[in-house]
Structure 1
Amino acid sequence: MMDNLRAASNHVVLKVILGLIILSFVLTGVGSYLTGGGSDYAAKVNGQEISRAQLDQAFNSERSRQQQMLGDQFSQLASNDGYMQQIRQQALSQLVDQALLDQYIKDLHISISDDQVEKAIFAQQAFQTKGQFDNAKYNALLANAGLSADRYAEGLRKQLATQQLINAVANTDFMLKGETSKLVELVSQKRDIRQATIDVNALAAKQTVTDDEIAQHYQQHKNDFMAPEQFRVSYIKMDAASLQENVSEADIQSWYDQHKADYTQPQRNRYSVIQTKTEADASAVLEQLKGGADFAALAKSKSIDPISARKGGDMGWLEPATTPDELKNAGLTQKGQLSGVIKSSVGFLVVRLDDVQPEQIKPLAEVRDAVADKAKQEKAVDAFYQQQQKVSEAASNDNESLAGAAQASGLKVVETGWFSRDSVPQELNFDAVKNAVFNGGLMGQNGAPGNNSDVITVDGDRAFVLRISEHKPEAVKPLDEVKAQIADTLKHNKAAQQAKAQADKLLADLNAGKADVLSAAGLTLGASKTVDRNSQDPVAQTAFNLPQPAAGKTTWGVSEDMQGNVVLVALDKVSSGALPQEQVDEMVKGMTQNNAQLAFEALLENLRKDAKIKYGAAAQMQ
């Protein structure tokens, strides 16, 4: 089977496919098997070396993954050497785990057959076209990743062996029928409750606080009353869209003449090919063709290129950019013309030119609207860059205001109100603009306004020049500004304490059998309601933490509701529920998977404990 894979990667059609396909493809988990040693190693696991190259590759892969996941936030984290070293250590830990698993798999004599590898390759969607394995795509992707068929198959074999070990561990966990029944009974349990609410807001309205209490709270919690750093900004906005204007026929004709290649279909040739292993075989094929043999029939029976052979040698229409050099240099100019025997990197070829499609140029009349749009956009972009140049020069020459830049460009200066990092005006809400405002580069000494910014381009078609007009550093808000807020907080805190103390006393009386204490306190139990374990209501969660009541009795508890009120909870009844079988199956599956994960983590922990692991210099960032 491996011979077939090697043969499939060695044919002339692959060169055509590589000319047509631009594809980024990552072969996960293969690279770490393919790079080798060097004395500067990262780690040795029971004598097996993990090289610097392997660690660098794993580190770069993890770095790229986190960059895609975190976006702009990653650039800030990447400047932290400690964070990057942490990523490197994580990558090394994963390589050590993989080495331990590889060794354990070898000890267990777990093996993957060629047939299993072949089925796995054929099943991968990345290698399929319309649900069927595409040999050409397979070869092109491997070539793009710099891998041979053998190397990829070997990496995949190790992946499959690891997966077989994981499956073996996962499949050892199960739940007994009785355990499942008890779990279902517990999860589906329902509880009937009543509740009496002590309104904290009503109590707060009756509270009083002194100026001394307010002042003391202010001194103790100053960090809660910080006013964020704030800015006022002056700016000039440039917009390419505002510079678009109609173009003349001469402009349209000129743009078309300069970009005629964009509307030109180059000459295309259609070839058929027969590929052989030896020159003698190719010569024999050529003699049969000259004797009148059918090209398609010979291609199907004689060509060693499986893809073109199935099509009778037909390679389809090829443009100059996608035509292999062997065909370009064959000297074929007439339809039906045969080449001689051509030596190539994949064997020997006999080629026939089947058809020629001359160069075709779309006339201007056919594409005029599209050309006019392009000419208009290009003209606006040119004007946009000229405008940026004027504004940039003027802003640099007069660095104490934007007046000169406004005069040079004919654009007005806009002044913002005060804003912080959390309230940037929508007009300026671009990462590049915010970075210029907040990074300190536009500030002068002692917080005074500094210089004008450089031209800041955003989204490709807009640009800004700005300066900081005024700045307020982060500071504690004055007491007078937050006095009312503190008073409300203190009143609410006093009310909450009073409500909790009242509830605790009522709870003690209720547990002592004094049933009339609620009415004496002006409280009434609400209607009974049934709650389940999935409820996010804190009152319901409290109910599930109470002991089950005896028949005809009530269990009491204290909780808070979603509004912060104190609630007395009466638990009257506990009953069993039921779950749909699908939900039961999913629950059991989740439990067994969780247990299997714990078992697998324990396996790795034991392997690490018993292993001899030595870390080298390459484990650290350089």
Structure 2
Amino acid sequence: MMDNLRAASNHVVLKILLALIILSFVLTGVGNYVIGGGDFAAKVNGDEISRAEMERAFSNERSRQQQMLGEQFSQLASNEGYMQQIRQQALSQLIDEKLLDQYASKLNLAISDDQIKQAIFSQPAFQTNGKFDNEKYNGLITSMGFTADQYAQALRKQLTTQQLIGAVANTDFMLKGEADNLIALVSQQRMVRQATIDVAKLAAQQSASDEEINNYYQQNKNNFMAPEQFRVSYIKLDAADMQETVSDADIQSWYDEHKADYGQPERKRYSIIQTKTEADANALLQQLKQGADFAQLAKTKSADPISARKGGDMGWLEPETTPDELKQAALTTKGQLSTAIKSSVGYLIVRLDDIQAEQVKPLSEVRDAVTAKVKQEKSVDAFYKLQQKVSDAASNDNASLVGAEQAAGVKAVETNWFSRDSLPEALNFKPVADAIFNGALIGQDSSPGNNSDIITVEGDRAFVLRVSEHKAETVKPLDEVKADIASTIKREKAQKQAKAQAEAIIAELKSGKQDAFDKAGLKFAAAQPLTRSGQDAISQAAFSLPQPEKGKSSYGISEDMQGNVVLMALDDVRAGSLPPAQVEQMVKGVTQNNAQIAFEALLDNLRKEAKIKYGAAAQMQ
């Protein structure tokens, strides 16, 4: 059927398995489970799931949820019911894994030690530069709470489960005839002629009485709501507007305090030779002391391929970037050699090649940058002082912004009317919007309330504002919406008339007559091909019509995007075609779906037949 079905199952079905495991507790309930005692999590057909396994699974699931939900998780974690649900999900996963292990054993599925080794060696997470790194492997499995034997056993179970999934998935296939029929159905084209009844033209002939308008208004008042409206006065402070002057003394003082920002610390240049054993390192040291060339020995003897290509040269290093092993050498003189130094990768011989003393750029070279920094700091300081001054003024005179205007030295700006959906661009910041819309600045009966506190935005801008006028949400008066209601009533009448007319015409066309069709002044346009992929109402309706008999048409009714009534004549159904890549993808999707169904059935059956007993550990919070 498909050459890569096994590979596909290892991706898609495993995802399905994870989803099924997470949902299995909810789906199966407790009908087949027995709650018992004992310091274990559960027994599945007599096989025990220990408290330790349960706690490790719970911890892993909790970490997964925390990584997935981010900040939301801290709120959910305080909910006892939510944490219990995570515990149940983790236990449900362990139970399903145990059921699959037992079924795999029943089928005599097994994974050899060589397969385990190959799986470990081929894992990219355990590799360095494309090669297996035993130190990295041990570090990672230890961080997951496994010993080497425990990890190998867990991996054996996983690979056995994959083998089981592959066996189930490979039982599904599609016959060529089934695939051909599916392709023909999906790619089918329908030749349809259309004739449109213009609803807008019919609406112009309709009338709407005062009584009809009033009744519609009373029944649909929620459709005529005027949103809550605001007018706001505000003062904006911007740090960028604070132009401060600086003196030479200011510049010199700032430079003296921040010299480290314009300096380069002492740098040293090292060369190394890396060996596997201390004996090898000492032998090379002896050669170096007898005059051997360091660079040549590094190229031919060093176990570090990167530095060896450069004759051992490590380049210039600052204190922060110097490895501990090189610091441990404690070399202070150019050309000085270390003894053999033990490292995480063997032993090192280190030579100090050069020293570059600490350097500081003179003020003359960095004056412009220092000046900009001083101006920025003085502007920010002035900005915060002005904020405090304006805030105090706004608080002392809470009935207007006059005092705040005097403190800020600028006039307040007043907006036009706006709603929650049309906040002026100048105020379009979340803290500002929250202050306006949370109701705290509105007095009784929509009267102006107090001034706001200082609202800081993005660190360098601030606002103080007051709601100068407010209108609560209300129903628009009938006179204001009367014309719109009349248009709606007329269009509804026109649509009803058009549909009735279309149904009468279609009934005649089906009987072989077209007097009503001609009398309505309608004409069918030329036939156009419609495909099943079309999302418009006419395409969807076309594929619901019965296939026409030879030499005849099938008829139906639909609507276009403008709400006009459309008469359809289906003249012919034609076979289409699909690109080979699309055909392959479609068959692959159907096969994978069938594999999912097969695996769901297997897991459901294993659950139903299992004898599962919960222990006390399963109930721990």
TM-score normalised by the chain length of structure 1? 0.77
Give the structure 1 partner of residue 385 of structure 2.
Answer: 386
Distance in 2 separating the partners of 1:210 and 1:156: 79
| 1:119 pairs with 2:122 | yes
Among 58, 65, 68, the alignment partner of 1:65 is 68
| Distance in 2 between residues matched to 1:613 and 1:477, nearest whole Å | 65
Correspondence for 2:12: none
Contact 1:45/1:100 (<8 A) preserved:
no
Q: Summarize the alignment of residues 220-619 of structure 1 with structure 2, pairs less than 5 Å apart.
A: 220-244=219-243, 247=246, 250-273=249-272, 286-287=285-286, 289-292=288-291, 295=294, 314-340=313-339, 342=341, 350-445=349-444, 447-606=446-605, 609=608, 612=612
How many angstroms apart in 1 are the aligned matches of 2:298 and 2:99?
A: 48
Q: Alpha-carbon deviation of 1:161?
A: 6.9
**Contact 2:76 2:82 (8 Å CA) reproduced:** no
Partners of 1:366 and 1:169 lie apart in 2 by 74
Distance 2:174 2:321 in 1: 60
**Number of the residue aligned with 1:93:** 89
8 Å Cα contact 1:228-1:475 kept in structure 2:
yes
Q: Is the 8 A contact 1:542 1:557 kept in 2?
A: yes
Deviation sequence 1:12-64 (CA, Å, 0-9, x none): xxxxxxxxxxxxxxxxx9xxxxxxxxx9x997584435656754654454355
Deviations 1:362-410 (A, max 9, x none): 3444444444443333333222222222222222333332222221111
Residue identity in the other structure for 1:113: I
Shift of 1:244: 4.0
More deviation, 587-596/160-169: 160-169
Q: How does 1:8-23 map to 2 (within 5 A)?
A: none
Deviation at 1:589, TM superposition (A): 2.5
CA distance in 2, matches of 1:250, 1:473: 58
Distance across 1 between alignment mates of 2:479 and 2:77: 44
**Residue in structure 1 matched with residue 100 of structure 2 by the alignment:** 104
Aligned amino acid, residue 486 of structure 2: A
Q: What is the one-letter code of the residue matched to 2:201?
A: A
TM-superposition CA deviations, 1:54-83 (whole Å, max 9, x none): 54654454355345xxxxxx87x9878999
Report the alpha carbon displacement of residue 94 of structure 1 after superposing the two structures with TM.
6.9
**Amino acid of the structure 2 residue aligned with 1:239:** D
Structure 2 portions without partners, runs of 5+: 1-17, 19-36
2:598, 2:363 → 1: CA distance? 71
Cα deviation for residue 606 of structure 1 reads 4.6
2:187 aligns with 188
Distance 1:179 1:610 in 2: 34
Query: CA 1:239–1:363 in 2, change beyond 3 Å: closer, same or farther?
Result: same
Q: How does 1:115-154 map to 2 (within 5 A)?
A: 115-121=118-124, 133=130
C-alpha contact (below 8 Å) 1:506/1:518 kept by paired residues: yes
Q: Deviations over 1:385-443 (max 9, x none)?
A: 22222222222333332222221111221222222221111111112211222233334
Contact 1:117 1:153 in 2 (8 A): no
What is the percentage of aligned positions where both structures have the same residue? Answer: 58
Q: Distance in 1 between matches of 2:441 and 2:254?
A: 42
Supply the distance in 2 between the matched residues of 1:298 and 1:307 (Cα, whole angstroms).
14
Query: 3-state SS of the aligned residue for 2:439?
Result: coil
* In structure 2, C-alpha distance between the alignment counterparts of 1:215 and 1:481, rounded to whole Å: 12
Between stretches 544-553 and 577-586, larger displacement belongs to 577-586
SS in structure 2 of the partner of residue 559 of structure 1:
strand
Q: Is the 8 A contact 1:142 1:149 kept in 2?
A: no
Q: 1 CA distance for matches of 2:309 and 2:167?
A: 42
C-alpha separation between the residues in 2 aligned to 1:141 and 1:395? 64
CA distance in 1, matches of 2:449, 2:40: 49
- Which letter does structure 2 place at the counterpart of 1:207? Q
- CA distance in 1: counterparts of 2:146 and 2:442, whole angstroms: 59
Paired letter, 2:523: T
Distance 1:398 1:487, change over 3 A: same
- For residues 582 and 443 of structure 2, the distance between their equivalents in structure 1, rounded to whole angstroms, comes to 64
For residue 556 of structure 1, report the CA deviation from its aligned partner: 0.6
TM score, norm. by length of structure 2: 0.77
In structure 2, C-alpha distance between the alignment counterparts of 1:64 and 1:618, rounded to whole Å: 24
Q: Counterpart amino acid of 1:263?
A: Y
Deviation at 1:92, TM superposition (A): 5.8
The structural deviation recorded for 1:309 is 6.9
Flag the 1:601–1:311 CA change in 2: closer, same or farther, 3 A. Answer: farther
Superposition CA RMSD, Å? 4.4
Q: Is the 8 A contact 1:63 1:87 kept in 2?
A: no
Amino acid at match of 1:93: Q
Pairs aligned (count): 570
Asked if structure 2 preserves the Cα contact closer than 8 Å seen for 1:271 and 1:317, the reply is yes
Task: Point out where structure 1 has 5 or more consecutive residues left out of the alignment.
Answer: 1-28, 30-38, 68-73
Measured in 1, the distance between the counterparts of 2:111 and 2:464 equals 66
How far apart, in 1, do the equivalents of 2:165 and 2:398 lie?
A: 66
